[in-house]
Structure 1
Amino acid sequence: MERQRRWDEDERFTGVSDAAAMLPAVRQLGEMMRTEGWVTEEPEAHLLPHLRRAPGWEVLGERQLDDGFYEVLARPEEELEGIDVQRAVIRLLSVIAEPSFLVRQAGGNVYDCVTGVMPGDPPGIFKSHGHLVRVIVVTEQVRE
């Protein structure tokens, strides 16, 4: 069986550790995500203004989906490809990031994000809440 590289120049084929140190935070986020009513209302009022002001992006459209995701169509102002698209999406989403923040490329040019405040997060004055955001990156011109 051929060993598979983790990236193009990988010569070790294995890492230095597991990631178990982050499991308590990941579990807590997962528990909060299962809490009824945890995803906040009116993302167009609370999130969209920040996303529209994010440098390097044009928001083309948005809508609230039944599964809780706030779906945003966005086009980068410059031509991007490969890992640069993912990094630019993370910069876009960072304008709405809260103490817990996870972004995952769900496929193609679709990126799913959960961001939220856990119980006890600073400043400690807000009830735990969160947002689900799906960014769909549009790379070609949209015809009107």
Structure 2
Amino acid sequence: MEQRRWDIDERFTGVGDAAAMLPAVHRLEEMMRGDGWVAEEPEAHLLPHLRRVPGWEILGERLLDDGFYEVRARPEKRLEGIHEQRAVIRFLSVIAEPAFLVRQTGGNVYECVTGVMPGDSPGYKSHGHLVRVIVTD
């Protein structure tokens, strides 16, 4: 079993835990559980921004019953591994709000939650978006 965490890792362990972020993560989780937290009409609020990202073509989009806004997108050039992961994060960053989490859920599928929590933005009620990006060739 490989112990390395990346290609040149010689330490095999980190410097601590990430518990300092847990209050923010739990707060986001609490907001995400709120009925009606996911905003409506992502095609009006998110799609125009995603369409303007250089190097990406939107091939299709749809709002799913579970609240995910699913976007099929093709990068201008073929990407793999960490290069694809970082490109997808840059792609999604155009819709990022104060809370922003992206996770690769398998192969070429990435899921994102982004939102505004109470106190993040004066004048705006807490809300968020769920976005699933499917990278295609």
Q: Structure 1 length as normaliser, TM-score?
A: 0.93
Q: Percent identity, please.
A: 80
Alignment partner, residue 81 of structure 2: 82
1:80 deviates by 1.2
Alignment partner, residue 103 of structure 2: 104
Unaligned ranges ≥5, structure 2: none
> Aligned partners of 1:28, 1:42: CA distance in 2, in Å?
24
> Aligned partners of 1:3, 1:52: CA distance in 2, in Å?
41
Change in Cα spacing, 1:54 to 1:3, as seen in structure 2 (3 Å) is closer
> Aligned partners of 2:63, 2:29: CA distance in 1, in Å?
21
Alignment partner, residue 142 of structure 1: none
Q: Deviations over 1:66-104 (max 9, x none)?
A: 111000000001121111001000000000000000000
Unaligned ranges ≥5, structure 1: 140-144
Alignment partner, residue 49 of structure 1: 48
Matched, 1:134 2:132: yes
> Aligned partners of 2:105, 2:77: CA distance in 1, in Å?
22
For the residue of structure 2 that corresponds to 1:41, the secondary structure is coil
Q: How many residues align?
A: 137
Q: What RMSD, in angstroms, separates the aligned Cα atoms of the two structures?
A: 0.9
1:52 deviates by 0.3
- The letter of the residue matching 2:61 is E
1:9 deviates by 1.3
Structure 1 ranges of 4+ moved more than 3 A: none
Alignment partner, residue 16 of structure 1: 15
